[in-house]
Amino acid sequence: MFNLMRSKLSFGRMVEIATEMGMANPLFRCHEQAAKATTKIDGREYINFSTYDYLDINTHPEITEAVTETAMQFGTSAGASRLVGGERPQHRELERAIADFYDVDDAIVYVSGHATNVSTLGFLCGKKDVIFHDGLAHNSLVQGARLSGAQRFSYAHNDCDALERVLEEKRGDYRHAFIVTEGLFSMDGNIPDLPRIIALKKRYDCLLLVDEAHSLGILGPTGRGVREYFGIAPNDVDMWMSTLSKTLCGCGGFIAGSHELVDYLKYGSPGFVYSVGMPPVIASACLTALNILKREPERVHKLQAISQFFLRYAQEKGLDTGAAQGYAVVPIIIGNSWVTGFLSQALMGRGIYVMPISFPAVKEGTARLRFFISAAHTEEHVRKALDAVVEEIPNAAQIVKEYQDAHPNAQATA
């Protein structure tokens, strides 16, 4: 039964077709070292462009020391939901530190970033409400919107005119309204016009959630995210959301905002109330990572400089970087999913680990290699990778062409 169900999944189907075409499955590879700017697979070293370790903090000795101490005293499990099983000091310290970082009253941490969005939106919004979200909003935001039962309108990606039109037309029909966007878009690496979105949210009486999964630690002179990038007042956004799995090197997510909001979520949001508390060791790791970020803004500067270099170099080479602005996430858009897959495979053969992204994660025909850049990447890493991309595109295209010529009725066309 599950095999039949799996064959209906887009990812599953793609892997099957790719195997038929002679491509190795790029998914679920087992790495022999931590997720950093370089990695090792089957004894071979790769430049790694598939890690969220944006600020090169993962494996920092201070984190290892902090989690070791926490594990000795508190073990590795929170034991139960914090509501009934109680808290450990690391929970409160982390939430306080996040709230201070955002200059807002309070914060709540959940055990998963994905669950943070699903549970928060699912809980806060209801049938009489409406959610306006960016067309490229992350799956967790869309799932949360669906779960809530609220009416949902997706506006064209990063298009505030489209948002304004739909607000004008639809806002009046609903009780509460929410606008949902990201601080830096995870697939395109571009930044929303947050000042305009804030003006719209005020004009149309909406609440605003900004997901900073890829902007916390990345944007702004000290890594305080899209708020610092634009110089936005902290309370102009109702819910600052981020994952803890990226810059902060742990796992989980948070919502930072007013006391009233955080208390409401802590007593009601199902992903918090009915889920175990974050393991104290993870809270300890994230808190230590946050302290490192605050203390060492030079990591942010390094990341910004190498990301800008990446973007410039890619563009000089004539590669399509879409709307990317040169902050940590830069796609190289290839178009055809199969060419992108074979390209990723060829790059692996040249010691470069970067994942292909295709439908359903992005629109059909916009398959891409998504490069996550780390402060530890060097200009030499970037040159080596992008030179290889340019050289391998024709080879990958040729493999796909030959396959399609030999199998004119095959599904491998997108």
Which residues of this protein are in contact with ligand PLP, per CB under 6 A?
112-114, 117, 138, 140, 182, 186, 211, 213-214, 243, 245, 253
Q: Omega of the bond prior to 279 within 30 degrees of 0, cis? A: no
Residue 183 CB, shortest distance to ligand PLP, in Å, is: 8
Pair type for strands 106-110 and 44-48: unpaired
Task: Select 113 or 280, whichever has its Cβ closest to ligand PLP.
Answer: 113
CB of 50 to ligand PLP, least distance (A): 12
Tell me, letter by letter, the H, E, C secondary structure of 262-274.
HHHHHHHCHHHHC
Is 99:91 a contact under the CB 8 Å cutoff? Answer: no
DSSP codes of every residue in 222-246: TS-THHHHHT--GGGSSEEEEESSS
Cβ closest to ligand PLP, residue 214 vs residue 224: 214
Q: What share of the chain is helix, strand, coil (3-state, %, to 5)?
A: 45, 15, 40
- Do residues 131 and 121 lie in contact, with contact meaning Cβ atoms separated by under 8 Å? yes
Shortest distance, position 392 Cβ to ligand PLP, whole Å: 27
CA nearest neighbour of 314 among 358, 370, 365: 370
- Minimum separation from the CB atom of position 7 to ligand PLP (A): 26
Q: Name which of 90 and 117 has its Cβ closer to ligand PLP.
A: 117
Q: Length of the chain, please?
A: 414
**Smaller CB separation from ligand PLP, 329 or 393:** 329
DSSP characters over 392-405:
HHHHHHHHHHHHHH
In the complex with ligand PLP, the residue whose CB is nearer, 51 or 336, is 51
Report, in angstroms and rounded to the nearest whole number, the Rg of the chain calculated over CA atoms.
Answer: 22
Which residue's Cβ has the minimum distance to ligand PLP?
113
How near is the Cβ of 317 to ligand PLP at its closest, in Å? 27
**Structure token pair of residue 344:** 């990723």
Q: How near is the Cβ of 226 to ligand PLP at its closest, in Å?
A: 12
Give the residue with the Cβ less far from ligand PLP, 138 or 171.
138
CB 208 within 8 A of CB 284: no
Give whichever of 213 and 332 is closer to ligand PLP, judged by the CB atom.
Answer: 213
Residue number with CB closer to ligand PLP (255 or 388):
255
DSSP 197-220: HHHHHHHTT-EEEEE-TTTTTTSS
CB of 245 to ligand PLP, least distance (A): 3
Q: How far apart are CA 373 and CA 328, in angstroms?
A: 5
**Least distance from C-beta 4 to ligand PLP, angstroms?**
28
Nearer to ligand PLP, 209 or 375 (CB): 209
Contact 215, 101 (CB under 8 A): no
Ranges assigned E (strand) in 64-145: 106-110, 130-134
Residue 7 burial by CB count (10 A; 0-12/13-18/19+): exposed, middle or buried? exposed
Shortest distance in whole angstroms from residue 131 CB to ligand PLP: 15
The least CB distance from residue 370 to ligand PLP, in Å, is: 11
| CA atoms of 381 and 274, how far apart (whole Å) | 45
Q: For residues 243 and 304, which CB has a smaller minimum distance to ligand PLP in the complex?
A: 243
